[in-house]
Chains A and B, each alone.
Chain A
Amino acid sequence: MAVLEKEISFAERQPREENFGWKGAMAKWFSGYGTAFFLMTLMALSAAVSLWVLAGQSLRLDEAQSIWQISRTPSQIFYIVAEDVHVPLYHLLLHFWAMTFGESVVAVRLFSLLFYLLSIPAIYMLGNKAYGERVAAYAAILTSFSPFLLWYGNEARMYSLLLFLVILNQYFFLKLWKKEERPSWLAYGLTAILGIFTHYFFALVLMTQAIFYFVRRDLFDKKALTKFVLTAVVLMIAFAPWVFYVYKRGAVSNTQPQLQLPTTVNLFNTFSEFMFGFQVDAINSIILALWPLAVLLAFFSLRRNYRISEETRYFAVSVAIPIATAFVVSYLFRPFYVSRYLVVAIPGLFLMLSWLFSSYRERMSAAIKGSLVVAMMLMFAIQTVSAQTPVKENYGEAVGFLNTNVTARDIVIASAPFTIYPIEYYYRGEANIETLPLWNRYETGPIPAFNEGDLPAEVNTLKDGHQKAYLILSYDQGYEQKIRDYFGSHFQRLESRSFSKDLTVEVYKLR
């Protein structure tokens, strides 16, 4: 009688025990030098793609802010970063990196690339601990081919560092519940502290772990509660001065640009972006419209005795809780739903998908895994080639246009005001650069709010003594059209050029 097969966890079903025939030989080779070779190959591929395709792209607003911020002294960095509603670890590290390697776009991006590349073996380690080699290997492939991660692996921001620290932290958390003791607690605590100083959203990872621990205490060592509490206390002691500093500065309310309230479309866009990067609306809509196939993919995994392991449940909540929390809190408190902040959910998502596809029958598994990688590569190509890719900010070319056209008698006007950072980075022209609304960056306080009544006076101030105005419009904060209309009705428009999605330069004759 064989009614109910002995329950075998999925990890136990991995082919690591196959030690016969060519499959066995492959498995043996793979678990030795093969793994290192495989991971090095993935890292080399990602590095090559990054350096070949992405390094040459224009500096973006956030990156320009980073470069501007790290060019200050450490104490000034604290000050500016607090106002920018971030935490300072990345900026401090980049500050010292730039002291050695310079502040060029490529140099600062290499810092991000380093952590992105390290994330590939890191997710392999995490996947291997949770499931075994096969799942781990595919998760590493997804990480390596992800258009989203390739993008942020090449952006001078903290997201690849955040990703790397989340993976490490998850790895040590997993070691804790598998009762691999002392070094794990230290490493877990350290990655938690580094993580929380890299991005506030790291707190969502810790919150997820706390919830998971609360629900599944039985998986952990009996003394784990004391150690978790101790870790939390150390974390709070380490982080409290920063919270106090931010509170004293009252900096939380100054964040720019303002974010919109998320909708259900944003929610699904997050997953679409995680898998297929940033696509123009036409392509993105098709991706989202195919969501019923996600149900089918879940149904394919229904196989006898292929149980959902605790690791999978943990990864599922590590995806769901941060995303749901960011969504709900955006409605309850203030909008801060941004897919790149939610990079903390990607390791869990990739590992879950990798587990899901590995639970299929062999042929179907290979077909779906292969198809997904091909689709990701295709989407990466489109993301790279298309000028209308939403996240592209071609300030390089836009300012290049200014550099060849403006004269000392003209004026360059940037709106929204904070876009002055990337413009300044590339700008070599003779005309002055101002912002609308008018803003002095060197004065304490937030960027002045737009006031339609003040617009004529501000424009009059700017136009005095100038022949042409080069109006660079990007990052619409809700008043871009009003500025455009005002200039259109008061001055003669000589030229209008678009350089990337929502980045235009309009030239007006002032007199």
Chain B
Amino acid sequence: MKNERRNILDRRRIAFFRDPILLKKSLLLATAVIALIYFYSMAFRMTRGNSVLFGLLIAGEIFHVWMALTYIHTMWSSKSESKFNRYFHPAVDVYITVAGEPIDIVEETVTAAKRMDYPNFNVYILNDGYVAGKQNWREPEILAERLGVSCITRTRPGGAKAGNINHAMLLTRSPYIAVFDADHVPARDFLKKTVGYFSDERMAIVQTPQYYKNRDLNPVTSASWGQQELFFGPICHGKSPINSAFMCGTNMVVRKQALLDAGGMSEHNIAEDFLTSLFMHEKGWKSIYVPEVLAEGLAPEDLLSYYKQQFRWARGGLEVVFKYNPLFRRGLTWKQRIEYLSSATYHLSGIIVLLNALFPVIFFFTGLVPLQISTMLLATVFLPYIFLMVYILQRSANFSYTFEALAFSMGSFPIHIRALWAVLSGEKSSFSITSKKKIHGNFIGLVIPHILYIVLVAVGFGVAINRNGLNVSVWNNLAWALFNIAAMTPFILAAVPAGAKKEAPRPALNLESYSLEQVPVIDKSNAAGYALKKDEESI
């Protein structure tokens, strides 16, 4: 029994460094030094080739080194000094945000929320189904009545999920708000494990991991969880001690006063939680991340849903870079500025992945290279850097990062580029809820850039052989191109219907009760900032 209990606790712990501090910091320092040596060698010690390509290469490497160093910065701090008072039990309003999700999913979440072990809380379904034009918008009201909870149905649109929360805040009274997406089922001890941190009067946000219980369902859910595990593992873990943990939209508790102080949930950004957290930190409020799974949700189960989720996050993050750049925000510490900027700039990685992938193709077609050096010289500085970096990544995540997660990060380059374009061009985007059910179909359209890349490599290789013969440069560039193709392959396979068939049985955890109804048809005439079906299809 004791062992069983320990196992359950183990399973709830999110992965992070388990090394002594000295070893951890030594490894991080060594990685930082190697990263700088790598960059210095490439930028200043190697013979330059084509100056435009060299400039692009260096720009990409600046980004890589920035990501590496900021990752090390995030990992550097050790323990949070936040106090937890287990006897602090103020009233909490529990918000379950709903906008047309299948009612059985909502029911599971509401039922679990009601069962939470806490003396003083009220559960509210924040029903945006009506303003989002969902056909099943009445169902949450019926459910609320049946389960004996309150339902707040908006009738005036605006602000999407942020608007929904802001609207509810005016109608509820408790000083603390717990927020769950419709599919995120809280554990019984969620509030007991989180609210105690608010005994610190400046504490504004207590965030917990966003765990996907369907992570083993198929390659998309598995890769999504792989990425989440890195974020909710070492990254959030590291941000917390330097007071930079931010809201992630669900599985969190927020001090209402702090939220009001920040002007409510920001309705001006597609990633409202990220920007609102920044505003709260600017006002001197504190945040903490609790690295224990206290709620379970659902990962996107198909490539289209994944695409939309990533696009929303990327667009939100990039908007922060270009419209609310943390470097120039008053009230933030320098550590917070770095953390916010590094999280937001991650979404620039798409353009860097594309750039790096194009170097071999450019060589194949034109013979131009960014560096004119012995490939072994590059290997001498690159291999220690990349191996150490991956090792640190794995070690910090307690060996939870996967190739599929990496491949999906790299394969997402068109999403990030499209998000960048949307931000720079001021294109309008709506808040699109990640589908809670698998959307069936062929998503080849989403991987056309990847397929085009493969075609370009194949044709370019022929061109290069015709021009240079099979010389060392051709082989080396082919190896790089194959590297990129291999990294894109899991993403491409996820788009193919045949790939989607390879699904594990659904987890037993209450998922059998899901209804098989189709994704609801949306009434275009009545939207509240949520994505319309047309938008979904266009993505």
Contact = CB atoms under 8 A, between A and B. Distances in A.
A301 B394 CA distance: 11
A1 B15 CA distance: 14
Contacts of A291: 375-376, 379, 383, 476, 479
B136 interface: no
Interface stretch (B61-69, B255-263, B279-287, B398-406): B398-406
B268 interface: no
The number of chain B residues touching the other chain, given as a range, is: 35 or more
B482 A293 contact: yes
A431 to B, nearest CB: 45
A292 B473 CA distance: 12
A264 B472 contact: no
A361 to B, nearest CB: 9
Nearest to A306: B399
Interface string A298-328: 1111111111100000000000000000000
A289 B479 contact: yes
A302 B403 contact: yes
A457 interface: no
Contacts of B458: none
B293 interface: yes
A264 B374 contact: yes
B400 A290 contact: no
A2 interface: yes
B294 to A, nearest CB: 10
B226 interface: yes
Given A1-B8, A267-B380, A299 B399 contact: no
B476 A290 contact: yes
Contacts of A2: 11
Nearest to A266: B376
B472 A293 contact: no
B375 A289 contact: yes
Contacts of A267: 376, 380
Contacts of B475: 285-286, 289-290
A229 interface: no
A8 B213 CA distance: 21
Interface string B10-27: 111111000000000000
B400 A292 contact: no
B403 A4 contact: no
Contacts of A4: 10-15, 398, 400
Given A1-B296, A6-B7, A264-B376, A305 B399 contact: yes
B211 interface: yes
B14 A303 contact: no
Contacts of A305: 399-400
A111 B429 CA distance: 76
A449 interface: no
A3 interface: yes
A285 B379 CA distance: 13
A1 B11 contact: yes
A271 B383 CA distance: 13
Contacts, number: 112
Interface centre among A296, A298, A306 (most CB of B within 10 A): A296
A294 interface: yes
B403 A299 contact: yes
Contacts of A306: 399
Contact of A3 (B293, B374, B387, B509): B293
B399 A295 contact: no
A385 interface: no
Interface centre among B11, B209, B379, B386 (most CB of A within 10 A): B379
Contacts of A285: 472, 475
A3 B12 contact: yes
A386 B477 CA distance: 27
A418 B15 CA distance: 61
Contacts of B226: 304
Given A289-B475, A304-B402, A298 B387 contact: yes
B52 interface: no
A268 interface: yes
A75 to B, nearest CB: 46
Nearest to B233: A4
A408 interface: no
Nearest to B407: A299
Interface string A254-289: 000000000111011000000000000000011011
B514 interface: no
B383 A265 contact: no
Interface centre among A267, A294, A302 (most CB of B within 10 A): A302
Interface in B449-499: 470, 472-473, 475-476, 479-480, 482-483, 486-487
Interface in B1-57: 7-8, 10-15
Contacts of B13: 3-4
B383 A288 contact: no
A289 B474 CA distance: 9
Interface string B373-398: 01111011001001100110010001
A152 B403 CA distance: 38
B399 A296 contact: no
A289 B471 CA distance: 9
Contact of B403 (A289, A294, A303, A308): A303
Nearest to A215: B23
Contacts of B209: 3
Interface centre among A6, A292, A296 (most CB of B within 10 A): A292
Contacts of A307: 399
Contacts of A298: 387, 390
Nearest to B399: A307
Interface string A1-16: 1111110000000000
Given A4-B13, A298-B387, A292 B399 contact: no
B483 A293 contact: yes
Nearest to A361: B403
A6 B10 contact: yes
Given A289-B472, A292-B479, A304-B226, A1 B213 contact: yes
Contacts of B11: 1-6
Nearest to B381: A264
Contacts of B472: 285-286, 288-289
Contacts of B476: 289-292
Contact of B406 (A288, A290, A299): A299
Given A4-B15, A298-B387, A302-B394, A268 B399 contact: no
Interface centre among A3, A268, A288, A301 (most CB of B within 10 A): A3
Given A265-B374, A268-B379, A302-B390, A292 B483 contact: yes
B374 A295 contact: no
A291 B477 CA distance: 10
Contacts of A1: 8, 11-12, 187, 211, 213, 293, 296, 509
17 contacts: A1-B187, A3-B11, A4-B400, A264-B374, A264-B377, A285-B472, A289-B375, A290-B479, A291-B379, A291-B476, A291-B479, A301-B403, A302-B402, A302-B403, A303-B402, A304-B399, A305-B399
Q: Enumerate the 4 nearest inter-chain pairs by beta-carbon distance, A residue then B residue, closest first.
A: A289-B475, A289-B476, A292-B479, A302-B403
Given A293-B482, A300-B403, 4 more contacts: A286-B472, A291-B376, A292-B476, A293-B483
